[in-house]
């Protein structure tokens, strides 16, 4: 279930809102042009399912979004902790990639099949930290200033939608705000302790 925290974007960010009320979250995100939808989770997908199996399981939903929004490329991104010696390094590198504020020329659309991650949307003097979990489909419009934190122990499977399959790059703003707002680990810990 989605969990939203809203902060001010100044030097000492204050918490303006903290809620798991799905209706309230949808309204709050709609005000900043971001669409959050929920799909039923398909039961029985095995751990370790590959891209084809996952896309097959959600085919109807995926096809509807593609038809509505004109996406031309869909894939699956996943990262799960393992015992390999290079896991900590791979996890840190993956996390660092989009951890600073940036924009894209395309929408950033993600459906969480499993696991979680936080999209931080920076608009109108506020930061909306959207903690997404299995069943959440978040559509961040092109050019929206945002960042993404998968935490220090990334664990998620997500379906991604694109209008263009090459050049998925971040245009970084150089703003250090991501360092001032509570990160994934902090928000996740605060939530479970609430
Ligand atoms: Fe991004």
**Cα 32 to middle of ligand 1, angstroms:** 16
Confidence of residue 194 (pLDDT cuts 50, 70, 90): low
- Residue 140 and residue 108: Cα distance in Å, rounded? 5
Residue 102 annotated as lining a ligand binding site:
yes
Provide the percentage of residues in the chain whose pLDDT is more than 90: 91
**Cα 171 to middle of ligand 1, angstroms:** 9
* CA neighbor of 153 nearest in space, from 88, 103, 65, 78: 88
**pLDDT at residue 193, as a whole number:** 60
Q: Three-state DSSP class for 49?
A: coil
Q: Cα dist. 191→15, 99, 134, 194 in Å? A: 14, 21, 16, 5
**Cα 14 to middle of ligand 1, angstroms:** 24
Residue 108 annotated as lining a ligand binding site:
yes
Can you give the residue range of the structural domain that contains 15? 3-192
**Cα 98 to middle of ligand 1, angstroms:** 6
Tell me the pLDDT tens digit for each residue of 1-40. Answer: 899 999 999 999 999 999 999 999 999 999 999 999 999 9
Residue 80 annotated as lining a ligand binding site:
no
**Cα 77 to middle of ligand 1, angstroms:** 13
Count of the separate structural domains present in the chain: 1
**Cα 102 to middle of ligand 1, angstroms:** 6
Would strands 146-149 and 15-19 be described as parallel, antiparallel, or unpaired? Answer: unpaired
Q: Whole-structure pTM over 0.75, yes or no?
A: yes
Tell me the pLDDT tens digit for each residue of 70-109. Answer: 999 999 999 999 999 999 999 999 999 999 999 999 999 9
CATH code for the domain in which residue 22 is found: 2.60.120.10
Contact criterion met (CB below 8 Å) for 185 and 151: yes
Instruction: Tell me the two tokens of residue 53.
Output: 């199996």
């Amino acid at each position: 279930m989605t969990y939203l925290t809203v902060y001010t974007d100044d030097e000492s960010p204050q918490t303006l809102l903290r809620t798991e009320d799905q209706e309230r979250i949808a309204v709050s995100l709609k005000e900043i042009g971001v669409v959050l939808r929920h799909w039923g989770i398909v039961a029985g997908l095995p751990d370790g399912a590959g891209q084809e199996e996952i896309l097959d399981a959600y085919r109807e939903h995926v096809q509807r979004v593609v038809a509505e929004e004109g996406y031309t490329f869909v894939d699956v991104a996943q990262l799960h902790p393992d015992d390999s010696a290079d896991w900590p390094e791979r996890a840190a590198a993956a996390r660092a990639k989009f951890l600073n504020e940036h924009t894209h020329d395309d929408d950033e659309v993600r459906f969480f099949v499993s696991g979680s991650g936080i999209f931080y949307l920076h608009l109108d003097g506020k930061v909306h930290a959207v903690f997404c979990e299995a069943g959440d489909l978040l559509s961040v419009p092109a050019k929206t200033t945002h960042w993404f934190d998968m935490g220090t122990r990334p664990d998620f499977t997500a379906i991604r939608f694109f209008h263009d399959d090459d050049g998925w790059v971040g245009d970084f703003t150089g703003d250090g705000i991501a360092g001032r707002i509570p990160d994934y680990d902090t928000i996740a810990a605060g939530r479970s302790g609430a």
